[in-house]
């Protein structure tokens, strides 16, 4: 089994997927714009070869270079798990005559308007929505949909460049920030709790699913610097409160015809119990949420994904043991991190329920919190009882502190 894997070194989870492919017996051939020397050790260890290209966003150039590099060698799979390169992956499959999502099949996972139109046709509740390319079209869509509403890129990822707009005055203030975005989705604002529905799907059948809870919802976390955002992978995914979202998630997979691999869906639960679709990506969730799944079930989701895409099998033993919370931290102040407070006491109290510490060390430059959910690092805690897990997560949010100063 020979697999081309696009961008094996970035985002940070990608080396784990390369490892998974190698573990199940594949030869992995990486394609990326990093130098070979800059690749993380795990990626380098499990790659059979690597092609550096000048720019992964120049799809025509990358396809030509890969075709020349491959030559007469056989390629069995082309895997792309980075949101922005999914269409590139589809173009590579078509050029190399490899099975998997085509360009046409990939578009509903990248174009939010096509996505929602497909689901509207399948009878799945989506927010009222319009595509807009100009400020005039945005204003017209706002008049049709009504305030409050959401403005976000058609082909965006996460909550980047996403804005809640309460009224016409706020919309006029936001419009200049969207002038670099080619197309915008103008959507009804859905007031409710926000969850994920993440799947490992094999031959169109969901073999494993995860439901994670955003505390608070990403749009709030992205607009308030003081917040330590949480994502909690829930142990009890069969509870009545989540049933509507889980059922909708199955219908979405069927409506879009997804076959093999990871998907990441987001959905809303309103106060009256109505569930509303958010969006879906034909890829795993980011921000180390696949690791959350592993901590929740004590299995290897990276390897199970690889087994599905290579051999069409899922062999994981899914035992939902824990609720798992990842708490992302933002340093106070600007410049370099000079002190981390509260960590020692929390370690003593949490003991084995603290399973991962991944903060920037003292001396590191603080990251731009507006550009990354991971911010200045995170802690991961887990516990069989949701209330205890939430209490620990809130303690980390309140008592674990990072301070930055100077340049």
Strand partners, 206: 201
Q: How many domains does the chain have?
A: 4
In a domain, 75, yes or no: yes
Residues 374 and 340 in one domain: yes
In a domain, 113, yes or no: no
pLDDT at position 407 is: 66
In a domain, 114, yes or no: no
Residues 393 and 337 in one domain: yes
Residue-wise pLDDT tens digits, 88-113: 999 999 999 999 999 999 999 988 88
Which residues touch 29 (CB under 8 Å, ≥6 apart)? Answer: 2, 3, 4, 5, 47, 48, 49, 50, 51, 75
CATH number at residue 167: 3.30.1490.20
Query: Which structural domain, as residue segments, surrounds residue 388?
Result: 322-407
Residue-wise pLDDT tens digits, 285-319: 999 999 999 999 999 999 999 999 999 999 999 99
In a domain, 123, yes or no: no
pLDDT at position 154 is: 79
CATH number at residue 43: 3.40.50.20
In a domain, 96, yes or no: yes
Give the integer Cα–Cα distance in Å for 37 and 302. Answer: 24
Place of tokens 């895997």: 79
pLDDT for residue 217 is more than 80: yes
Residues 306 and 365 in one domain: no
pLDDT at position 370 is: 81
Residues 302 and 356 in one domain: no
pLDDT at position 155 is: 66
Q: How far is CA 288 from CA 26, 277, 294, 328, in A?
A: 23, 23, 10, 11
pTM higher than 0.85: yes
pLDDT at position 157 is: 60
Residues 196 and 260 in one domain: yes
Residues 313 and 327 in one domain: no
Residues 363 and 405 in one domain: yes
pLDDT at position 182 is: 84
Residues 331 and 315 in one domain: no
In a domain, 201, yes or no: yes
Residues 350 and 407 in one domain: yes
Cα R_g (the chain), whole angstroms: 21
Residue ending a domain, choose from 295, 321, 347: 321
Residue ending a domain, choose from 60, 78, 108: 108
Contact 13, 288 (CB under 8 A): yes
**How large is the average pLDDT for residues 77-89?**
95
Give the integer Cα–Cα distance in Å for 230 and 123. Answer: 32
CATH number at residue 385: 3.30.470.20
Residue ending a domain, choose from 80, 108, 136: 108
Helix ranges (DSSP H) in 97-147 = 103-110, 112-121, 135-145
């Amino acid at each position: 089994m020979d697999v081309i894997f696009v961008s094996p070194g970035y985002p940070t989870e990608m080396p784990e997927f390369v490892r998974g492919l190698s573990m199940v017996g594949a030869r992995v051939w990486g394609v990326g714009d990093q130098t070979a020397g800059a690749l993380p050790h795990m990626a380098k260890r499990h790659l059979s070869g690597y092609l550096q290209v000048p720019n992964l966003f120049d799809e025509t150039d990358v396809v030509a270079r890969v075709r020349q590099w491959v030559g007469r060698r056989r390629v069995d799979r082309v895997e792309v798990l980075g949101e922005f390169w999914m269409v590139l992956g589809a173009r590579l499959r078509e050029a190399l005559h490899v099975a998997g999502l085509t360009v046409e099949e990939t578009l509903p996972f990248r174009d939010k308007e096509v996505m929602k139109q497909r689901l509207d046709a399948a009878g799945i509740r989506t927010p009222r929505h319009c595509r807009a390319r100009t400020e005039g079209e945005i204003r017209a869509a706002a008049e049709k949909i009504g305030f409050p509403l959401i403005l976000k890129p058609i082909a965006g990822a996460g909550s980047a460049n996403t804005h809640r707009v309460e009224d016409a005055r706020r919309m006029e203030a936001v419009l200049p920030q969207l002038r670099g975005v080619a197309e915008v989705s103008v959507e009804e604002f859905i007031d409710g709790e926000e969850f994920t529905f993440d799947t490992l799907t094999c031959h169109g059948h969901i073999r494993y699913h995860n439901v994670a809870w955003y505390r608070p919802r990403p749009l709030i976390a992205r607009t308030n610097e003081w917040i330590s955002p949480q994502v909690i992978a829930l142990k009890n995914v069969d509870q009545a409160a989540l049933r509507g979202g889980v059922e909708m998630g199955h219908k979405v997979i069927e409506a879009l015809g997804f076959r093999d691999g990871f998907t990441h869906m987001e959905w809303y639960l309103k106060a009256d119990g109505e569930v509303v679709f958010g969006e879906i990506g034909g890829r795993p969730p980011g921000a180390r949420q696949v690791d959350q799944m592993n901590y929740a079930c004590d299995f290897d989701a990276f390897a199970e994904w690889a087994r599905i895409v290579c051999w069409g099998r899922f062999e994981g033993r899914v035992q939902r043991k824990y609720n798992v919370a990842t708490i992302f931290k933002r340093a106070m102040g600007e410049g370099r991190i000079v002190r981390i407070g509260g960590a020692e006491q929390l370690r003593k109290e949490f003991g084995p329920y603290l399973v991962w510490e991944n903060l920037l060390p003292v001396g590191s430059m603080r990251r731009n919190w507006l550009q990354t959910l991971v911010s200045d690092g995170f802690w991961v805690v887990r516990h069989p009882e949701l209330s205890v897990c939430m209490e620990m997560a809130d303690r980390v949010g309140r008592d674990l502190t990072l301070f930055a100063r100077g340049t």
